[in-house]
Amino acid sequence: MSNEISDPTAASGAADSEGRRPERLLSRRQLTARRRRDSFTRNWGMFKANKQAMVGLGILVFFTVVAFLSPLLVSADAIDPAAASGPPNSPPSANYWLGTDSFGRSVLSLLIVGSRVSLLVGVTATIGAVLIGATVGLVSGYYGGTRIDTVLGTLTDWFLVIPWLVLAIVMAAILGPTLFNVILVIAVTSWAMTARIVRAQTLSVRRRPFIERARALGASDWSIITHHVLPNVFPVIFAQAVLTVAVAILSETTLAILGLGDPTAISWGRIIEEAFNAGSMANGYWWWMIPPGIAIICVTLAVTMCGYALEEIFNPKLRRRH
Amino acid sequence: MRLRYIRRKCGWALLTLWFVLTANFFLFRIMPGDPIGLLARSQRLSAEALAHQLTLFGLDRPLPLQYLIYLKQTLTGHLGVSIISGTDISTLIAGRIWPTVLLVGVGTGLAALVGVLIGIKGGWARGTSFDRSSLYGSLLLYATPEGWLGMLLLITFAGTLGWFPAGGYTSSSGDTAPQLGDIASHLFLPALTLTLGYIGSFVIVMRSSMIDVKDEDYITTARAKGLSDGQVRRRHAVPNAFLPSFTLIVLSVGFILGGAIVVETVFSWPGLGLLTYQAIKDQDYPVLQAVFLLSSLAVIIANLVADITYGFLDPRIEEV
């Protein structure tokens, strides 16, 4: 399969204008790798030039590192309500930088441990949502105008209009409060936007000559979708996925505040719920209530900044907006 | 004239309604434990109420028949009884619907109005400090979980400062009719939470459509005619840039209903959201089912109205 072919970019106008000639013959694999590397370098350069996006990326790296290191930073005893040693409900002090909760657990420890579940739910629910959304969008765009497209399009439209947060809440209440169900419910209710965007992009890619060429050479639908459409649609999927993480984290918070989160897993949303139910409003335990909310805002904002930057890079029409 | 367009939109609304009903039927049946067992477990339900629910929805019949019975009962307004209190759900909802309409109406209205105005100003004067701060402010509010925001407002303005009541719909109890001012002071914080929680998306959408419109030829023409900047903006830019925001306003009914569940819970606002929260706690599935059905219905109607209005606002839409 892997024939020796000459670099086709040399034949195209773009390469000619740079005056580049094929120095040597490249295998198809090498060629693809080089092209991907080039476009990555180019896009990374644009991303780096975006100040907000870089700040966002920094925040995300920080929280990801904290989440991964959390087992080392906080011992299991420190967040066990029965084993906690601190004074209950004490305001921030030298020993407890962010104070303690009603069980005498350090709020900082809870926050560090909570990052793990919040990010895990955000990322896995997004992966689920994007898998559903991208599949629906690719298939419906590729078969655009056929009955499959009508059915999938109607389904997508339906998920876009229904009150998805209400659906998520009702589904979570019915399925029961486990981590898996929370992820499942968020994934099932937040894929529609991805599907719509991917479909539109697929429709435009489908009309390009190289798809026709592949079909003329006898490629199957499956191979055209996976080898020719998907790589071209992927940047859009990626940008949309990053934006979906924000939705997923906010949805998890909402579910947790309503008591629909996994009772055995500490997430930022759950810390807020516990703080609220412990009457931190009446008693003024602001140190318990405020930090998890700030953490959620930081991550959501960071993700949104990165997502917008990626959207701008991959969709040049948006570039003049900011 | 536009009959075909309107008819198509009505058809789509009916199809969506059928979708919602079907999803609702199956959602209720995938949960752990069958409906009959669930009903029987509920101790507060009298034998008669149980039998009533059984016959009303034919829960002992085969599934396809149950589905048809469910469709018929729901369409004729029979939503069943709450498995906790045994009250008829239609009655339960009728008592809770107006506080929610008031809260979501005020919250959505203010968010849309203020958001669109800020978006117009920012998009028209892109890059100014007003534009930058409103954009960053919107992104910040967008990233804030509205339940948490509500809690903070509650702690600050009802708890520490004591300016507003800490929750509920009214302070008057019993027979005395609630005073308008009393309701307004109870409404202020939850409505503010919803407004702040959703204003960001309106600012962002209106701003970017203003920016899109700004470079259009007809704007240049309007300027060339000698119109003032304000006139160009008011007469030519805003009417053309408004359509995406209009769609968003209508669609937002759906997600603000979701947000209302959390906000009503935080502020003990006695609407459908608080009813939902109680139903979650009590695992009162028929009530949850009814709430989802009702909120979907609200969204479907809002969309239908929007689509038809859209057809009048923008005649080009018919051709699509």
Q: What is the pLDDT of residues A9-42, one digit of tens each?
A: 444 444 444 455 555 677 888 888 888 888 889 8
- Candidates A151, A166, A175, A274, partner chain B, best to mutate (most B CBs within 10 A): A166
Flag the least confident range among A201-210, B69-78, B188-197: B69-78
Nearest Cα neighbor of A301 from A126, A127, A52 is A52
pLDDT band at B72, cuts 50/70/90?
confident
Which domains, and CATH codes, for chain A? 54-320 (1.10.3720.10)
For range A281-301, the mean pLDDT = 85
Residues 262-281 of B with CB under 8 A from A: 262, 265-266, 276-277, 279-281
Tell me if chain A has a CB within 8 Å of the CB of B176.
no
How confident is the model at residue A318, as a pLDDT?
A: 58
For range A82-109, the mean pLDDT = 74
**Token pair of A319 as six digits:** 């570039």
- Using a cut of 0.90, tell me whether the model's pTM lies above it: no
What are the start-end ranges of the H helices in B157-237?
Answer: 180-214, 217-224, 229-231
Fill in the amino acid letter for A52.
Answer: Q
Q: Which helix (H) or strand (E) holds A27?
A: strand A26-27
Q: How far is CA A95 from the centre of its chain?
A: 36
**Token pair of B281 as six digits:** 């706690």
Please give, rounded to a whole number of angstroms, the shortest distance from the CA of B266 to a CA of chain A: 9
What distance in Å separates the CA atoms of residue B277 and residue B282, rounded to the nearest whole number? 9
Q: A201, exposed or middle or buried, with CB in 10 Å at 0-12, 13-18, 19+?
A: buried
DSSP-assigned beta bridge partners for residue B233? none
How far lies B190's CA from each of A278, B94, B166, B261, in Å? 21, 21, 10, 11
| Residue range A58-67, pLDDT digits in tens | 999 999 999 8
- Candidates B104, B148, B205, B303, partner chain A, best to mutate (most A CBs within 10 A): B148
Q: Which helix (H) or strand (E) holds A4?
A: strand A4-5
How confident is the model at residue A2, as a pLDDT?
A: 42
The number of beta carbons lying within 10 Å of the beta carbon of residue B214 is: 16
Tokens 């209710």 identify what position? A189
What distance in Å separates the CA atoms of residue B41 and residue A102, rounded to the nearest whole number? 35
How confident is the model at residue A10, as a pLDDT?
A: 42
**pLDDT above 70 (res B30):** no
How confident is the model at residue A5, as a pLDDT?
A: 47
Q: A116, exposed or middle or buried, with CB in 10 Å at 0-12, 13-18, 19+?
A: buried
How confident is the model at residue A263, as a pLDDT?
A: 84
How confident is the model at residue B3, as a pLDDT?
A: 79
**Token pair of B165 as six digits:** 């009541």
Which domains, and CATH codes, for chain B? 2-75 (no CATH), 95-310 (1.10.3720.10)
What distance in Å separates the CA atoms of residue B67 and residue B61, rounded to the nearest whole number? 10
A247 or A105, which is more confident = A247
How confident is the model at residue B140, as a pLDDT?
A: 92
What distance in Å separates the CA atoms of residue B187 and residue B170, rounded to the nearest whole number? 9
Cβ atoms of B280 and A169 closer than 8 Å: yes
Q: Which residue from B minimizes the CA distance to A273?
A: B148
Report the residue from A164, A166, A280 with minimal CB separation from B261.
A166
For range A260-273, the mean pLDDT = 88
Tokens 């991917």 identify what position? A198
Written as one string, the DSSP assignment of B194-205 is HHHHHHHHHHHH
Fill in the amino acid letter for A207.
Answer: R
**pLDDT above 70 (res A202):** yes
The number of beta carbons lying within 10 Å of the beta carbon of residue A18 is: 8
A156 or A322, which is more confident = A156
Q: How far is CA A21 from the centre of its chain?
A: 40
B40 φ, ψ (degrees, to nearest 5) = -65, -30
- Are B258 and A169 in contact (CB < 8 Å)? yes
What are the start-end ranges of the H helices in B63-177?
Answer: 63-75, 89-124, 129-142, 146-153
pLDDT band at A6, cuts 50/70/90?
very low
What are the start-end ranges of the H helices in A50-190?
Answer: 51-73, 107-142, 147-161, 164-175, 179-189
Interface A-B, measured as beta-carbon pairs within 8 A, has a size of: 144
Cβ atoms of B294 and B223 closer than 8 Å: no
Nearest Cα neighbor of B166 from A207, A130, A283 is A283
Tell me if chain A has a CB within 8 Å of the CB of B159.
yes
Flag the least confident range among A170-184, A232-246, B1-15, B286-300: B1-15
ipTM over 0.95: no
Tokens 């870089």 identify what position? A54
| Residue range A113-127, pLDDT digits in tens | 889 999 999 999 999
| Percent of chain A surpassing pLDDT 70 | 88
What distance in Å separates the CA atoms of residue B291 and residue B28, rounded to the nearest whole number? 13
DSSP-assigned beta bridge partners for residue A226? none
How confident is the model at residue A281, as a pLDDT?
A: 64
Distance from first CA to last CA of chain B, Å, rounded? 16
How confident is the model at residue B76, as a pLDDT?
A: 82
How confident is the model at residue A17, as a pLDDT?
A: 47
Q: Which helix (H) or strand (E) holds A26?
A: strand A26-27
Please give, rounded to a whole number of angstroms, the shortest distance from the CA of A71 to a CA of chain B: 27
pLDDT band at A1, cuts 50/70/90?
very low
On chain A, the residues whose CB falls within 8 A of the CB of B151 are 272, 276, 281, 289
Nearest Cα neighbor of B203 from B293, B304, B123, B84 is B123
Q: B97, exposed or middle or buried, with CB in 10 Å at 0-12, 13-18, 19+?
A: middle
